[in-house]
Amino acid sequence: MNIVIVGAQWGDEGKGKVIDVLTEDADILIRYQGGHNAGHTVIADGHEFIFHLIPSGLLHPGKVGLIGNGVVIDPEALLDELGKLQARGVDIIRAVKISDQAHLIFPYHKRLDLLEESTRAGRIGTTGRGIGPCYVDKVARCGIRVADLCNPKVFAEKLRQNVTEKNRLFELLYREPPLSYDELLARYSGYAKQLQSHVVNGVRFLHDAVAQGKRLLFEGAQGTLLDIDHGTYPYVTSSNATSGGVCAGAGVPPTVIDRVIGVAKAYTTRVGEGPLPTEFAPALMEQIRTKGKEFGATTGRPRRCGWFDAVVARYAVIVNGCHSIAVTKLDVLDEMETIQICTGYRSGGRIITEFPADLDVLARCEPVYESLPGWRAETGEAASFEELPAAAQRYLKRLEALLEVPICLISTGSKREQAFKVGCW
Ligand code: IMP
């Protein structure tokens, strides 16, 4: 079975943990969008490993990961991650493949990301990794791909054009010193030598894998509400984080996808700017942020936290075509006396249950809450749905009813063992 994992909120839903659990049923793990703005945390054998670019199931022996054409790659970040994986005993040449059609991030992208953020009227709160500017170049058709990196003559020419163009911007618009073409050429030529043995034709690689009956697991990064088309634009990332991004970002037809699983936290978080209708007041924010260790895995920034927003999650179920939902971090709510679920928004005297595209309307929406009793008991030891406290079961059943899809997995802690499947995918 070929499965897609997507975030059903604003990213950081605990996808890394869910992917780690699902990896036992997969042969090939694929990233299809985003870049090292992602941070998928896996805790195995008491050690924490944060994957940024490499698919996060690779700590399991024998698995192969593909960084698909829809991903934007910072070679320096990738080599750093490959080194860490190798230190853990993984045969990285065998295990990590890179699509020759993926685009590359350069220092000028990172610099532009930071400059644009500092001069923009309304900050987005990007991760500052150069993700947006790299996708801009891709769409503007001046980007540089992995295939170009592997062809010294083509690479030298494309880099020269890009550096000339970007330096003009730095000097004339931002009054910044130029970047050195020679230095970049030397540095990236070195990366080419180190990465060459990982490069494959991604389309052919996955086509052959499907023909051989290999099981694929597509790892979405970020989340539905950060999707460039379907998220809270402009407070979004620059790629299609939804399941629709799989076909374009990995080079597979829609017919290979058997299942889509949305991942949602038992509450809601977001990093960076933009609307978060169910955001907590400061005291509760502090409590949940501390208990849930809600600090960005990539930037360390504190995450904003709020109650579970069923309008958002239901929207994610529809956009992604989720067959089921994995609910993570249930244990973070263990001490709550009462738990609220947002079931709709009050907008101009009426209740709406569709997520509005107009952020001005969203800003004036007031969440409508349903209150449920908390369970005030630890859930971290539960190994099945039946072992959860009755009030926790009731909460999850209510989420299922609101989202109109079954829950397939529940996670109650950061350790690999603290998760169990419920029913089927
Ligand atoms: P960018 O992807 O760095 O351009 O950032 C755009 C927005 O997406 C910002 O609000 C970031 O905080 C957010 N973002 C990007 N990657 C992640 C992620 O992996 N988890 C959560 N938020 C993210």
pLDDT at 108 over 90: yes
Helix axes 131-139, 107-119, angle to 10 degrees: 110
CB of 374 within 6 A of ligand 1: the answer is: no
- 118's enclosing H/E stretch is helix 107-119
With a cut of 80, say whether residue 45 has pLDDT above it: no
Are 7 and 22 a contacting pair, CB within 8 Å? no
Confidence of residue 400 (pLDDT cuts 50, 70, 90): very high
Query: For the chain, percent helix, then strand, then coil, each to nearest 5?
Result: 40, 20, 40
Q: Which atom of ligand 1 is nearest to the CA of 129?
A: 3
Distance 386 CA to ligand 1 centre (A): 36
Count of CB atoms within 10 A of residue 289's CB? Answer: 18
pLDDT tens sequence across 250-290? 999 999 999 999 999 999 999 989 999 999 999 999 999 99
Who has greater pLDDT, 88 or 75?
Answer: 75
Instruction: Report the nearest atom of ligand 1 relative to the CA of 273.
Output: 10
Q: How confident is the model over 238-249, as pLDDT tens digits?
A: 999 999 999 999
Predicted pLDDT of residue 305: 98
How much is the pLDDT for 49?
85
Q: Is the CB of 326 under 6 A from ligand 1?
A: no
- What's the pLDDT at 374? 98
Which of 74, 110, 115, 126 most suits a substitution to test ligand 1, by most atoms within 8 Å of the C-beta? 126
pLDDT for residue 335 is more than 90: yes
Predicted TM-score (pTM) above 0.85: yes
Residue 297, pLDDT score: 81
Query: Average pLDDT of the chain?
Result: 96
What residues have CB less than 8 Å from 193, skipping those under 6 apart? none
Q: Determine contact, residues 58/19, Cβ cutoff 8 Å.
A: no
Catalytic residues: 12, 40
Cα 151 to middle of ligand 1, angstroms: 32
Radius of gyration of the chain (CA): 22
Ligand 1 center from residue 131 Cα (angstroms): 9
> Ligand 1 centroid to 1 CA: how many Å?
30
Cα 350 to averaged position of ligand 1 atoms, centre (Å): 32
Residue 35 CB–ligand 1 contact under 6 Å: no
Quick one: pLDDT band at residue 40, thresholds 50, 70, 90?
A: confident
Provide the pLDDT for residue 416: 86
Question: Which atom of ligand 1 is least distant from the CA of 301?
Answer: 12
What does the pLDDT look like over 207-227, one tens digit per residue? 999 999 999 999 999 999 999
Q: Which atom of ligand 1 is nearest to the CA of 37?
A: 16
Report whether residue 344 contacts ligand 1, using a CB cutoff of 6 Å: no
